[in-house]
Amino acid sequence: MQTLLTTRQMYQADALAGQSGISGVQLMGAAGASVTREIMTRWGSETRVLVLCGPGNNGGDGFVIARLLTEAWYRVELICLGGVSKLQGDAEHMASLWRGPVEPAESIVSDNLAQNFDLIVDCLFGAGLTRGLDGDGAKLVLAANKSGLPIVAVDLPSGIDGDTGQVRSVAMDASMTVTFFTKKPGHLLVPGRGHCGEAIVADIGIPSSVLQEIAPKFCENTPALWWQAFSTPQSSHHKYNRGHAIVVSGGMTSTGAARLGARAALRIGAGVVTIASPPSALAVNAAHLTAIMLCRMDDDTPLSELLTDRRINAVLVGPGNGVGQTTQANALQALESSAAVVLDADALTSFENNPDTLFKAIASDGDRSVILTPHDGEFRRLFKEIDGERESSPEAIGGKIGQALAAAKRSGAIVILKGPDTVIAAPDGRAAINANAPPWLATAGSGDVLAGFATGLLSQGMPAFDAACAACWIHGEAGNLCGRGLIAEDLAEKTPRILASLERE
């Protein structure tokens, strides 16, 4: 599992490493050596390298890199923002080992860097930056970006907040980023991810036992996180053992979204999937369905009556359902049943003016598996009071993870806050960042397929957080397999290939 540490937790990891007998100088030396190795495998010794050092430990890493590259016969020029006199502790020690000149920042800001160098190493500021860059620091970043030269960022591109991925005024556009021990959320969250280029995690000698003491709750969403919880059919199973999911359809002119969700639920392994259709849409749905079953749902046979069939163990409400009291009633009836529930799209917006009604219904059964799947607009409508700002607690985190965690705690549900950097959050504080989604997933119906994947996994008994994470990763992988030009109908059809590959691995 690819654990993520916040900047505060990374400082804690360094401290714990120190308590185990690994000094800060050793860690800094190992960090600089790991970056140097990555540079030497990609650029030959004829490369002219500009190393930009900041006033903290990130700058200390830069002095190590400059020294090691010089010893390997690279042509190196080093600039230290604020001067060597401002360095302290381990960074000061590493600077004392550098035998070359140290240039002031203003010496290169106006130069044409591309004429004098082939590579820039960014050691100005690491993941802990929480303020906007200004003055010579901002000028160095802008000059480096303007040069068009490849940039290797150390820890995180300067100007990126390590916890939120946000740009602090300006930020380096790196070709490669080398970080240490674990990635930070800022490596995966947008826009930070776009500034990192290739992200490499280097082992610098921090014991893995440190993670047990820190007990981090954030990770990158990969199959290692949830594959063990994935349901595998047994030879003795029949279709109802594999789960029966029901998807609520919209009216005659808005049936496609429900069918997309239903097909995704079936493709990902649900044994039976039924579309509950209002009378006006029965003929339209019937004309399009084969393996997916169809039942009538109207005022005389509401959703609650259909859900008295105990074999139905997962329900999807929202895609194409329309915003209003009918959708709201269907969502509440689903939550009153024993089935796991996914609420998407219109089912979320229908509670815009009374979110507490929804949250109380979710809280009525503490063991309930409920997943909410908002995009940014739906999130703002349902969680108006959540702005993602840091709370007073030093352990709190802002940005998109903070928003998703606050929403999960507020609602009592697993929250999938969608986007190019989808965050999956649980009320207990766990969060995963999904980073495999291609941009062409931004197409009509894509979210309906994601909701269907989650519903199908819940129907097979997968825990809600695992189901949400697996649905997001498989959705992203399907998008990658489809490539440019995909439409939502393509996504579910890639599922067998993805699952077969996961089983082989």
What is the per-residue pLDDT across 108-125, written as a single tens digit (0 to 9) for each? 665 679 999 999 999 999
Name the residue with higher pLDDT: 498 or 366.
498
Average pLDDT over residues 139-166: 96
Structure tokens at 56: 């903290």
Query: Residues 132-146, buried b or exposed e (16+ Cβ, 10 A)?
Result: ebeebbbbbbebbbe
pLDDT tens-digit readout, 405-442? 999 999 999 999 999 999 999 999 999 999 999 999 99
Contact 250, 344 (CB under 8 A): no
pLDDT value of position 204: 97
- Sequence ranges of the chain with CATH classification 3.40.50.10260: 3-216
β-pairing verdict for 176-180 and 198-202? parallel
DSSP state of 292: S
pLDDT value of position 240: 81
pLDDT value of position 301: 86
Res. 56: pLDDT tops 80:
yes
pLDDT value of position 394: 47
296, β-bridge pairs: 277
- Sequence ranges of the chain with CATH classification 3.40.1190.20: 240-504
Confidence of residue 368 (pLDDT cuts 50, 70, 90): confident
User: Cα(45)–Cα(179) distance, rounded to whole angstroms?
Assistant: 23
Q: For 3-216, CATH number?
A: 3.40.50.10260
User: Cα(105)–Cα(407) distance, rounded to whole angstroms?
Assistant: 44
| pTM across the whole model | 0.95
Class of domain 240-504: alpha beta
Average pLDDT over residues 385-402: 69
Res. 107: pLDDT tops 50:
yes
Structure tokens at 89: 């502790």
